[in-house]
Amino acid sequence: MQPTVDIISLLRRKAGTFPAREQRVADYVQDHLQDVTTIALSDLAQNVGVSEPTVIRFCRTLGCDGFRDFKIRLAQNLAVSMQYLAPEDLADDTTAADVLSNHVLGVIVDNLRLLREQLSSTEIDRAADILANARQIAFMGVGGGSTTVAFDAANRFFRLGIPAQAQSDGYLQRMLASTFGEEDVLFAISTSGRPTELIHSAAIARQYGAKVISMTHPQSPLAAESDLVIGIDMPENPDIYKPTATRHVFLATIDIIATAVARRTPDRTLEKLRRIRSSLLTLNPPTGRQPIGD
């Protein structure tokens, strides 16, 4: 796998340290980032006033194999960087807490409303049926958001009397998937549905007969490798300063599924919840109805 190179940061860090002619290329690239991704080698050399070999040496100084490799890496870098280099103007740029609260909460509420429209009761019922009868469940995610949701999901389900764990390490995900069998469930969580670790783990688990449920984009590679897909496709808010609201949608979906599972197994669920609450008596004395585990 080719290592990721942040060409933009590399250009900034090395500014003023290139040989004189290469520095002229660097300055031109800095001022024409998007144009350079589609320009011909001869045209770039002519625009800068240097030779084509100088441009190629500049590219190699940045760790690229040549001009074509440089353009590809720069284009990839720009694809994820432009929203931060030239962010959209926001209608309200105030930092007042009340305005920010309304803005952040408003986006969460809007996404939850959209979730209500997207969720399929058939998919939720099928997921609940599978999970209620699972011998064990592994919730898997990679990256900050999905990993957090996976951890919370495992926290929800062990309380229902179903052995559950969360795993975010790619190697351990594969290893764990290879130990699963027909009574086990791998529950994969991903906004994009593209992490290789999850796709490979899902394929491994399925080859040994385990069920794979994914909560992800319905037209993603991960969805294609799943027995059941909880399809979720949320638009990202243009405010790049605000944390993504998608994780609230994923957490809400986990709560819906966990509630459905709990109501399918009332005797087991009530006994496990009673035991958990009893185990905390010395730490959290009874004062009426409280969240289990605080």
Cβ partners under 8 Å of residue 166, min gap 6: 138, 139, 140, 141, 147, 150, 151, 153, 154, 155
Q: Which of 186, 244, 195 is nearest to 217 (CA)?
A: 195
The predicted model scores a pTM of 0.77
Q: 114 versus 244: which is more confidently predicted?
A: 114
Token pair in block for residue 182: 């027909």
140 φ, ψ to 5°? Answer: -125, 135
Per DSSP (E only), the strands in the chain are 136-140, 164-167, 184-189, 211-216, 228-231
> Does residue 88 register a pLDDT over 70?
no
* Residue 278 banded pLDDT, cuts 50, 70, 90: confident
Q: Are strands 164-167 and 136-140 parallel, antiparallel or unpaired?
A: parallel
CA distances from 212 to 131, 137, 206, 215, 260 (A): 10, 10, 7, 10, 18
> Does residue 244 register a pLDDT over 80?
no
Q: 242 versus 143: which is more confidently predicted?
A: 143
Mean predicted lDDT score pLDDT of the chain: 89
* Residue 119 banded pLDDT, cuts 50, 70, 90: very high
So what's the pLDDT on residue 25?
Answer: 95
CA distances from 76 to 72, 73, 81, 156, 285 (A): 6, 5, 9, 38, 56
> Does residue 251 register a pLDDT over 80?
yes
Identify whether the C-beta of residue 253 lies closer than 8 Å to the C-beta of residue 120: no
* Residue 92 banded pLDDT, cuts 50, 70, 90: low
pLDDT digits (tens, 9 = 90+) for 22-43: 999 999 999 999 999 999 999 9
* Residue 81 banded pLDDT, cuts 50, 70, 90: confident
Q: 146 versus 4: which is more confidently predicted?
A: 146
Q: Within 10 A of 80 (CB to CB), how many other CB atoms are there? A: 9
> Does residue 293 register a pLDDT over 70?
no
User: How big, in percent rounded to 5, are the helix, strand and coil portions of the chain?
Assistant: 55, 10, 35
Domains, the chain, in order of start with CATH, read 7-84 (1.10.10.10), 97-281 (3.40.50.10490)
**Stretch 255-272: mean pLDDT:** 95
Q: 122 versus 237: which is more confidently predicted?
A: 122
